[in-house]
Amino acid sequence: MSAGAPNQPPATAPPINLEAITEPTPTAVAGAQDDEKDFLAQVELDTKKETLEGIKQDRGERKLYAARIFSLMKWWVLGVFAILLFQGFLSNPHDWYFKWFTLHQVKFQLSDGVLIAVVSGTTASVIGIFLVVANYLFPKR
């Protein structure tokens, strides 16, 4: 069998000279402590950089989502306003004459229950969305 084969007893290790072991010199200990301090300072600096980048990203995301939510709320309210205008102006049948075509007997009629549901639902939704977004964008710290 070869020397590195399994099931072979290990070769005898060279004798250990315990007198060769000495205490570290003060400069070696100080150098190790300085290395540890430098490492901890670098870790703290990296942590602060990550925190700052996170804050900058949060600010950018807040601006983006604030603009999107404002746009959604604006179009939602304009849509409800259009429904109310149609209800008011198109509730009686009319002929509408345009330059290229004519609409005969156009009528837009919603029941009172539907109008109440649309207006109250929109009001609740707009207020709810505003509160959720405001609490997300400007958390209490």
Torsion angle, alpha carbons of 67, 73, 79, 84, to 10: -140
Please give the pLDDT value at position 123: 85
Residue 41 clears pLDDT 80, i.e. is over it: yes
Residue 2 clears pLDDT 70, i.e. is over it: no
Instruction: Give the mean model confidence (pLDDT) for residues 51-75.
Output: 86
Q: Any idea which of 19-33, 63-77, 121-135 has the lowest mean pLDDT? A: 19-33
CA 110 to chain centre: 40
Torsion angle, alpha carbons of 61, 62, 68, 71, to 10: -160
In the predicted model, what is the mean pLDDT of the chain?
Answer: 79
Residue 3 clears pLDDT 60, i.e. is over it: no
Residue 1 clears pLDDT 70, i.e. is over it: no
Tally Cβ neighbours within 10 Å of residue 140: 4
Please give the pLDDT value at position 33: 72
Closest CA to 73 of 132, 115, 113: 132
**Tens digit of pLDDT for each residue in 87-103?**
777 677 667 677 777 77
Report the predicted TM-score, pTM, of the whole model to 2 decimal places.
0.51
Please give the pLDDT value at position 47: 92
Distances (CA, A) of 13 to 6, 10, 17, 20, 138: 18, 8, 12, 17, 68
Q: Please name the residues in contact with 65: beta carbons below 8 A apart, sequence gap of 6 or more.
A: 133, 136, 137
Instruction: Give the mean model confidence (pLDDT) for residues 56-67.
Output: 85
